[in-house]
Amino acid sequence: MQNARHPKTHRELCELACRFLRNNGFKVVFSDRFHAWTSCGEHPDALGFRNGASCLIEVKCSRSDFLADRKKVFRSEPEKGMGDWRFYLCEPGVITVADLPAGWGLLYAINGRVRKVHGWPGNHQWVVTVAKPFRANKQAECDYLFSALRRLEIRGVTENGADADRVQTYGL
């Protein structure tokens, strides 16, 4: 299956990943536009949180980008990375199921929609500890969330919920 239009940009795929996470029960979602210091140095393309689970989506626009990703310390040492569940999102042909590192899932972007190719759990599996393919670096996730909350506090959003709509629009 080919996309009907030009290949998606990294930014477009990141936006698609965030929308996909929100539509699949992740009520707190961060895009690649949000930069925060973390203990592991990871800067996710899309990171979502729901009760009892976190999900990281790494966007890849080219095979060379995917292959280079393996050199990152939090990929070679998965316990340093974020996300109880981790997925690659790309257009068909960039990554195949056979290419995936252990525990990773695969999502394809096809005509502006996300197709679940491999590893997407059933709704009840998200919070089952033994079902989670990774033991996420919870310190890094807390660092990330703290950075987001601190920015909201600085802007006064935590005192005045009326500004909450701005947060999603501007990505903090």
Q: For the segment 66-99, what is each residue's pLDDT rounded down to a tens digit?
A: 999 888 888 889 999 999 999 999 999 999 999 9
SS3 content of the chain, % helix, strand, coil (to 5): 40, 20, 40
57 contacts 87 by C-beta, under 8 angstroms: yes
What is the pTM for the complete model shown? 0.86
At residue 47, the 3 state secondary structure works out as strand
At residue 112, the 3 state secondary structure works out as coil
Q: Is 108 exposed, middle or buried (CB count within 10 Å of its CB: 0-12, 13-18, 19+)?
A: buried
Q: What is the pLDDT of residues 96-109, one digit of tens each?
A: 999 999 999 999 99
Take residue 79 and report the two structure tokens written for it. 């316990």
Which residues is 151 bridged to in the sheet? Answer: none
